[in-house]
Amino acid sequence: MNVFVLCTGRCGSVTFAKASTFITNFSSAHESRTFLLGEARLAYLDRPIRSG
């Protein structure tokens, strides 16, 4: 299962990503793949939580 949290600017998405690091069976990051292009941008690891 993948979890993507879409947020508007200045709404706590960085805080949410940091708090999500304590969930042990998921990986968590904030806008972690914005520098990638094409298929690589969507090649997430298993069980991601991404906010941005």
| pLDDT score at 14 | 93
**33, 28, 1, 32: which is closest to 16 by C-alpha?**
28
Could you tell me the CA-to-CA distances from 46 to 9, 23, 30, 33 in Å, in that order? 27, 14, 16, 15
| pLDDT score at 18 | 94
| pLDDT score at 41 | 92
| pLDDT score at 22 | 95
CA distance 13 to 36: 20
- Hey, how many other C-beta atoms are within 10 angstroms of the C-beta on 13? 18
CA distance 36 to 29: 15
Per-residue pLDDT of the chain (52 residues; tens, 9 = 90+): 888 999 998 899 999 999 999 999 898 999 999 999 999 998 887 887 777 6
| pLDDT score at 52 | 67
